[in-house]
């Protein structure tokens, strides 16, 4: 049994996957068992959890650390936690973290080298595979899309980024189909959600009301299917699938934001001297928050240091941001010296030149850059202003 066409306009998904009768149904204990099964297979389980007044991604020991009955209220420049009375474990949108921090680490040693009298120096062997295999629990559709965007950057060019690759290859992805989009979400506009149709090992849809608390489980890979063999479940019935479908449909209808994305790359390329860039520059603090919370931003810088004896050199890679002066520095000064230049670079890269470079938009509509901007700059509003007919 399948539900509806595979290319529902509201979902904006073009892959031929449906929420079908291969899906399973588990309860909270089943979810607990799934966590245990992941742990016994050697995965470090990373999941949403409440810390410092936000829902962040961190290592958890069990489902009791999930944000049960917690939700978030997001607006431009504003993020607040609140409670919900249904005890839902995934009843919120995305927080300040993204899975990027586990796959493309904020800081990583690129190589070490030791001085050597005969050979000059001896670099360390590159590409020690990541010791940790992660299971990511609660990956939203926009985040699955963001991981796939970074795959293109780090794995599909002429050079594969080894640290990213080893982490990515080992990662077990458990998606959660969004039921509670935030006030700054616009995945429907970017055609990345709210339903994840692929790119996961398992996908959960949380069904919660006064009587029941269950999860429809879609199996997206062989290893996903294998791990479900050790989890008590029953085949999802048509009413379960209908309820799951309703969760996604409802989420799609409750996006906090919209952004016109048709023809956007070409249109922005024509607007590089628009006065709106000066307008947004008068508000932007160049603080880099938007780039650091963005799940697709991939800029990094390297720093070379030595140990105290000067015989070992270490190259460290750190996240960088196109909002810094150093980012575009060449002898004589920075190419993008003003906030106007920097914001324009960020927005036009994200929404326009990214498509030329990687065949996909760099924006997945997660809304983080809007929520975490300290002055509440909303890129969907900036785009609308840029595209608005001239007076």
Partner 1 sequence: MRPRPHQVLEVKIETADVTTIVVAPIDAEPPLVARAGQFNMLWMFGIGEVPISVSRIRRDGALVHTIRAVGVVTSALAGLDAGGVVGVRGPFGTGWDVDSAAGRDLVVVGGGIGLAPLRPVVEHVLANRGDYGRVSVLVGARTPKDIVFGEDIDQWQHSDLGVDVQVTVDVAGAEWPGHVGVVTDLIASAHFEPARTIAFVCGPEAMMRFATRALQELAVPLERIRLSAERNMQCAIAQCGHCQLGDVFVCRDGPVLAAARLLPLLAVRGR
Decide if residue 340 touches partner 1 (CB under 8 A): yes
**Of 320, 347, 365, 380, which one interacts with partner 1 (CB under 8 A)?**
320
Decide if residue 344 touches partner 1 (CB under 8 A): yes
Site string for partner 1, 55-74 (x = CB under 8 A): --------------------
CB of 281 vs partner 1, minimal distance in Å: 11
> What tokens does 62 get?
């069990």
Whose Cβ is closer to partner 1: residue 337's or residue 388's?
Answer: 337
Decide if residue 308 touches partner 1 (CB under 8 A): no
Decide if residue 338 touches partner 1 (CB under 8 A): yes
Beta-carbon contacts of 389 under 8 Å, excluding residues fewer than 6 positions away, are: none
Decide if residue 333 touches partner 1 (CB under 8 A): no
Q: Which stretch binds partner 1 (CB under 8 A): 22-30, 226-234, 252-260, 318-326?
A: 318-326
Decide if residue 121 touches partner 1 (CB under 8 A): yes
Instruction: For residue 218, report the phi and psi dihedrals to the nearest 5 degrees.
Output: -95, 135
**What is d(CA 287, CA 280) in angstroms, rounded to the nearest whole number?**
13
**What is d(CA 84, CA 179) in angstroms, rounded to the nearest whole number?**
13
Q: Which stretch binds partner 1 (CB under 8 A): 23-31, 60-68, 171-179, 307-315?
A: 307-315
Decide if residue 381 touches partner 1 (CB under 8 A): no
User: Beta strand pairing status for 107-116 and 120-123?
Assistant: antiparallel
CB of 159 vs partner 1, minimal distance in Å: 4
Decide if residue 42 touches partner 1 (CB under 8 A): no
**Of 211, 305, 308, 390, which one interacts with partner 1 (CB under 8 A)?**
305
Q: Which of 253, 208, 4, 219 is nearest to 91 (CA)?
A: 208
Q: Which of 30, 178, 169, 167 is nearest to 105 (CA)?
A: 167
**Of 5, 53, 120, 263, which one interacts with partner 1 (CB under 8 A)?**
120
Whose Cβ is closer to partner 1: residue 83's or residue 301's?
Answer: 301
Alpha helices in the chain (DSSP H): 28-40, 100-103, 141-155, 162-170, 187-190, 222-228, 238-252, 264-269, 276-281, 289-293, 339-348, 354-358, 368-371, 379-387
Q: Which of 70, 264, 69, 84 is nearest to 186 (CA)?
A: 264
Instruction: For residue 341, report the phi and psi dihedrals to the nearest 5 degrees.
Output: -65, -40
**What is d(CA 49, CA 65) in angstroms, rounded to the nearest whole number?**
6
CB of 315 vs partner 1, minimal distance in Å: 8
Whose Cβ is closer to partner 1: residue 28's or residue 112's?
Answer: 112
CB of 229 vs partner 1, minimal distance in Å: 39
Give how far Cα 207 sits from Cα of 90, 155, 177, Å. Answer: 10, 36, 11
CB-CB contact of 256 with 379 (8 Å)? no
Decide if residue 126 touches partner 1 (CB under 8 A): yes
Site string for partner 1, 77-116 (x = CB under 8 A): ---------------------------------xx-x-xx
State whether the Cα torsion 98-260-78-66 is positive or negative: negative
Residues near partner 1, by CB under 8 A: 110-111, 113, 115-116, 118-124, 126, 153-154, 157-159, 161, 272-273, 298-302, 304-306, 310, 313-314, 317, 320, 322, 326-331, 335-338, 340-341, 344-345, 349, 353, 356-357
């Amino acid at each position: 049994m399948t539900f509806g066409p595979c290319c529902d306009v509201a979902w904006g998904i073009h892959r031929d996957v449906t929420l079908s009768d291969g899906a399973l149904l588990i309860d909270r204990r089943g979810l607990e068992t799934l966590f245990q099964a992941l742990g016994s297979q050697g995965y470090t389980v990373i999941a949403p959890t409440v810390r410092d007044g936000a829902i962040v991604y961190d290592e958890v020991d069990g489902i009791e650390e999930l944000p049960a009955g917690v939700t978030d209220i997001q607006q431009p420049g504003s993020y607040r936690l609140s409670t919900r009375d249904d005890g839902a474990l995934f009843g919120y949108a995305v927080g300040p973290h993204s899975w990027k921090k586990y796959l493309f680490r904020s800081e990583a040693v690129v190589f070490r080298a030791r001085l050597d009298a005969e050979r000059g120096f001896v670099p360390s062997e590159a590409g020690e595979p990541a010791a940790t295999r992660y299971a990511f629990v609660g990956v939203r559709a926009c985040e699955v899309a963001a991981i796939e965007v970074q795959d293109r950057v780090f794995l599909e060019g002429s050079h594969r980024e080894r640290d990213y690759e080893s982490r990515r290859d080992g990662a077990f992805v458990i998606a959660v189909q969004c039921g509670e989009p935030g006030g700054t979400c616009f995945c429907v506009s970017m055609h990345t959600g709210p339903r994840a149709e692929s790119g996961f090992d398992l996908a959960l849809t949380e069904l919660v009301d006064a009587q029941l608390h269950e999860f429809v489980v879609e199996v997206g890979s062989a290893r996903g299917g294998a791990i479900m063999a050790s989890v008590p479940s029953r085949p999802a019935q048509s009413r379960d699938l209908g309820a799951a479908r309703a969760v996604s449909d409802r989420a799609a209808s409750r996006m906090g934001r919209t952004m016109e994305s048709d023809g956007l790359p070409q249109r922005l390329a024509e607007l590089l001297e628009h006065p709106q860039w000066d307008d947004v520059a008068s508000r932007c603090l160049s603080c880099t928050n938007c780039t650091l919370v963005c799940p697709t931003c991939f800029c990094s810088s390297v720093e070379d240091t030595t140990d105290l004896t000067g015989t070992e050199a270490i190259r460290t890679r750190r996240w960088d941001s196109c909002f810094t002066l150093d980012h575009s520095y060449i002898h004589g000064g920075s190419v993008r010296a003003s906030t106007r230049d920097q914001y324009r670079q960020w927005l036009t890269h994200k929404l326009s030149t990214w498509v030329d470079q990687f065949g996909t938009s760099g924006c997945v509509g997660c809304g983080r850059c809007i929520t975490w901007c300290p002055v509440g700059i909303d890129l969907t509003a900036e785009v609308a202003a840029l595209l608005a007919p001239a007076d």
